[in-house]
Amino acid sequence: MEYRRKTQLLFALAMLVNIVLGGWSLLFSQEPVTIEFWHVHAETFGGPAINELVERFNAQNPDIRVVEKFNPNMYLGLTQNLQAAIAAKNPPAITQLGNNWVEYGATNFPHVPIEEFLKNDSEGQAIVAKIPEGVLNIGRREGKLVAMIWSLSNPVLYYNVDMFKEAGLDPQNPPKTWKELREVARQIKEKTGNYGLYLQEPGDFWGQQALIESNGAELLKKDGGKWVTGLDSEEAIEAFELYADMALKDQTALHAPWDQGMNAFVGGKVGMAITTIARRNYVESNANFTVQAAPFPLFEGKPRRVPGGGNVLMITAQKKKEQEAAWRFIKYLLSPEAMTIWTKGTGYVPIRLDVAEDPNYLKPFLDANPMMRVALKQLNDVVPWVNFPGKNATQIEQILLDVRSAILTGQKAPREALKEAAAKINALLP
């Protein structure tokens, strides 16, 4: 009898052990939730920082696996790819949209608004509370937080200190106006044989918006209750004529795709480059000369108006578990650790002031980096990066890229090209 009782007890104990071990085995054998994160950051534009952030998150969160996917041709290219993925019912979980694409994304892409995740998430609420309201508003539409702001930038004038000295210029006195800049570019060309200036030409019109709006134009405005573009205004034409003259008549400005133009600058073939502060790390890491930064040049007697660049993160996952995983990854990207990696690895202005002022995170870096201080001081000059309303934003963006190319290759004079482009854009605006 005693033997039988012991046998039953041992059998029950064995069964319990098997159940427990089986449960643990099942728990740890489950595949992690895999989500795709679509972004625009090539190796020369924050790609290494993206890789580090993804690797760190995956290591800290074994139940989630983030797969990053680079999309070429900047935000226009990503937006076009996303349209195809949505049509195929296979969108990524997280989509990085340029600040100029928030309106289009909110009205055309299926997504889960960020505020849906914030309702019952005290941790998320605490993080968002650290971001200035005006910055958060970039991701709001009709009062709803549809996307989470992640990156902020503005354009600065990088310049080659060694080339300035070679050309007989004072590197402590960089050009402050476009008139001065044109003369400096001429002197660099005459004294060194190099190009004087490169103004960024990626797959967007961001740098050119800064050019024309600093001369008083408005890329998008209301006229009699209807949206119209100011691309054909006298201020826009004047600004484009100046830059076209530098590229074609003076031959001091380089017309080239973004990576090619920036490679020419860091390779010592161009004296000055106007591009985003987000490429600060790339410039500092690759230039074989002393490089400094100055504010975006002014048109005499007019205020500086530079569009706020950067991007938001939109949750476009279709399945609930992928949506929840996407939100956890976004919260990580807004953490002090991640924001420090991102700012140092790019040059984007930090959106959390507490991290920027924390001596354990970004304060020592920001205090010691004069280029970052230039961008921070220009925050008062920032205007919205234009969001074209309606369903035709991708066509309008392509018109802007085409007119830029037509002018800088000499195919058309600025006045003719801008008038034609404006007529096409106005016909596409709602």
> For residue 9, what pLDDT is reported?
53
Give this prediction's pTM.
0.90
> For residue 141, what pLDDT is reported?
94
> For residue 305, what pLDDT is reported?
97
Residue 324: how many CB atoms within 10 A of its CB?
17
Which residues does 126 contact at the CB level (< 8 Å), separation at least 6?
A: none
Point out the residues of the chain with pLDDT beneath 50: 1, 3, 7, 17, 19-28
Q: The tokens 């990085």 sit on which residue?
A: 96
Residue 193, phi then psi, degrees to nearest 5 = 80, 0
> For residue 30, what pLDDT is reported?
78
End-to-end CA distance of the chain: 90
414 and 241 in contact (C-beta within 8 Å)? yes
> For residue 44, what pLDDT is reported?
94
Looking at the chain, the whole-number percentage of residues with pLDDT higher than 90 is 92
For residue 339, give the amino acid letter: M
Q: The tokens 């004529």 sit on which residue?
A: 241
Each residue's pLDDT tens digit, 173-202: 999 999 999 999 999 999 999 999 999 999
> For residue 24, what pLDDT is reported?
45
What b/e string do you get for 277-301 counting C-beta neighbours within 10 Å, with b at 16 or more? bbbbbbbeeebebebbbbbbbbbee
